[in-house]
Every structure is written in C-alpha cells, then in structure tokens.
Amino acid sequence: MRVLCMCKFCLQCRPCPWVKKVNQRQIYNMSTEEQMLLKGNLITCNTEAWQSHPDFFGLQRLGGVDLSYLKEDDTVACASLVVLSYPELEVIYEDCHMVTINAPYVAGYLAFREVPVLVDAIQKLLEKDPCLMPQVLIVDGNGILHHRGFGVACHLGILTDLPCIGVAKNLLQVDGLENNDDHKDQIRKLQNGGDFFNMTGSSGTILGAALKSSSKSTKPIYISAGHKISLETAVRLVHSCCKYRVPEPTRQADIRSREFLCKKTSTANS
DNA sequence: GCGACAG
DNA sequence: ATCTTGTCGC
C-alpha cells in the first residue's frame, strides 16, 4: 500500500496550525489540485485476473467501509471496515473504532472528510492480518461520477492501491446527468434485479450505471468505477453481492458502525 | 437570484 | 450522514 499526498494545504492535511492562515477559497483550490494530482494515477479498467472470470473465480474477499456520525457532533464518528468472504458473503473481519473528523462535508470533497480514517483502517488491517486484505473495496459514494471525475472511491483506491467501486444511493447530478423525467423513465423500465443502464455525461464519457440491485427495490443504486476495475465488472460484481438494495459489504459495515457508535455513546453516559 | 447538494 | 412510527404488502 502506498500513500500519496504532496499537498501542504489540502483538507486531508488539516488540521495544521498554519492552515488557519489561509482562507476557505484557498483550501478548496488546494483540495481540487490534490484531486487532479491523484487523478493522474487513476486506472479505470480491470487489472486483476478474477475480474475477467464469469464467476469471479479467484475472488475470495470483499471489503466494505462506512462511517456513522454522532448526531450531536459530526466531528465524532465510528469508522468501520469489514471483510466478507466471496461468494458466501460472510463477515470474516470486522474493525470498528471511534474517530475524529476534521473536514466539513462539502459535495465534491467528501473524500477529504472520510478517506483519511479509512486509509488508517486499511493500514491497521495490513499490519494485523494481511491475509484478510480485501481484493476489492465497495465504497459509499461515487467514483468517476463526480464533479471533477475523482470521487471518494477513486481517492481511496489511489491511496490504498486497492481496486475500488463507488456505490451511491443518490444520483450526483454532474456533467449534464439529471434526475429528471427521462431518467425516471429509464428507472421505471428496469424490470429485474440486475437490470441497469449506463449513464453518459455531456462530455461523452460513460460515468456510471444505475442498477436495480434487488428485485424488490424501486430506487436504483449508482455504480461508478473507482480504481483498478471497469464499470462493467463493477456492476456485475455489485449485483452479485446484493442480498438487499445496498451491497452486503457496505450494509454490514453500516450496521456495525451504527451499533458500535450506539454502544459507545450509551456506555459513556452510564 | 436560483437550484443543486455523494456522505 | 441524522431525526423518526407505524403501516401496508408479500
């Protein structure tokens, strides 16, 4: 695993005492620069042998990550990393711990809020149990379906060097993509679990896909390539690990981080 | 001023 | 992300 960050001002590097000497505008300019710099290393095609197999032969471990925030104070959160066996989808590793979040949530800069603690969790797994390192990570949020083509799934992928898939529950309306009547029509046409359609931005690039992830869900999930995996493979893999609307690795990470946060806050008051 | 706004 | 109950349906 490698960690790249050449930036002295970006949100990821906060809090640095002297960052307070620069204004918000400069912070976002620097964060944008950081995204563009990291984007230079992005790979949005398959790089692993298992990705080409019809049944993902060779794939044994899927990772899921999530953060649950304390409602009273969104600088306090529980970060969770889970690893599931494939194709059984059983949890074989779980790590939940409390973290402090420094960056604010700003659409387009989610990575600066969530990625640092997720990199830490991966680093911890690498030191503690490298045999359990996931072969692909499913990330809450978008990959290249992003204002600057570099969402949280790309960011985490570059920093960890792991294949990453972006899975968002809502459509980020960028590059001409809109949740308009046409889009809603396309969604209505999705019949069965696994049905999907690709979404092409005004720039002509295929940015992602809307997937009906379970047969019962009306609302799709939005898949985009993060790093070291193609959109086609990502859609196929995400569908293969959906018991419900949200893919199982993310769902397990979600459940466990909420529980942990809940338990932590209740014991703190007793 | 207006609309959009991943988590 | 989080607040927040029951209820309708398979």
- Residue A11 CA to its chain's centroid (Å): 18
Residue A178 lies in a domain: yes
Q: Give the separation between CA A81 and CA A93, rounded to whole angstroms.
A: 8
CA-to-C1' distance for A202 and B2, Å? 22
A28 falls in which pLDDT band (50, 70, 90)? Answer: confident
pLDDT in tens, A211-241: 999 998 999 999 999 999 999 999 999 999 9
| Structural domain boundaries, residue A187 | 43-268
Q: Using a 7 Å CB cut-off, which residues contact strand B?
A: A 66-67, 69, 74, 105, 107-111, 140-142, 146-147, 151-153, 166, 168-173, 179
CA-to-C1' distance for A151 and B1, Å? 29
Is the Cβ atom of A73 within 7 Å of strand C at any atom? no
Residue A248 lies in a domain: yes
- ∠ CA A170-A172-A178, nearest 5°, is 100
Residue A155 lies in a domain: yes
In this predicted structure, the answer to whether residue A8 has a pLDDT above a threshold of 90 is no
CA-to-C1' distance for A118 and C1, Å? 16
Angle formed by the axes of helices A24-39 and A152-160, nearest 10°: 60
Residues 150-169 of A with CB under 7 A from strand C: 169
Residue A34 lies in a domain: no
Q: Give the separation between CA A129 and CA A10, rounded to whole angstroms.
A: 31
Exposed e or buried b for every residue in A94-131, given b needs 16+ CB within 10 A?
ebbbebebbbeeeebbbbbbbbbbbbebbeebeeeeee
CATH number at residue A197: 3.30.2170.10
Residue A75 lies in a domain: yes
Provide CB contacts within 8 A for A17, sequence distance 6+.
none
The conformation of residue A20, written as its DSSP 8-state character, comes to G
Residue A36 lies in a domain: no
Structure tokens at A267: 């014991």
Residue A52 lies in a domain: yes
Q: What's chain A's length in residues? A: 270
Instruction: For residue A217, report the phi and psi dihedrals to the nearest 5 degrees.
Output: -80, 135
Q: Is A145 exposed, middle or buried (0-12, 13-18, 19+ CB in 10 A)?
A: buried
pLDDT in tens, A44-101: 999 999 999 999 999 999 999 999 999 999 999 999 999 999 999 999 999 999 999 9
- Residue A243 CA to its chain's centroid (Å): 19
Q: How many domains does chain A have?
A: 1
Predicted pLDDT of residue A249: 97
Half-sphere exposure of A266 (CA within 13 A, CB side): 6
A26 falls in which pLDDT band (50, 70, 90)? Answer: confident
pLDDT in tens, A123-170: 999 999 999 999 999 999 999 999 999 999 999 999 999 999 999 999
- Mark residue A141 as left, alpha or beta (left: phi above 0; alpha: psi -120 to 50; beta: remaining): left
Residue A2 lies in a domain: no
Dihedral (C-alpha) A157, A158, A163, A167: value to the nearest 10 degrees?
Answer: 30
DSSP string, A128-180: H-GGG--SEEEEES-SSSSTTS--HHHHHHHHHT--EEEEESS----TT---S
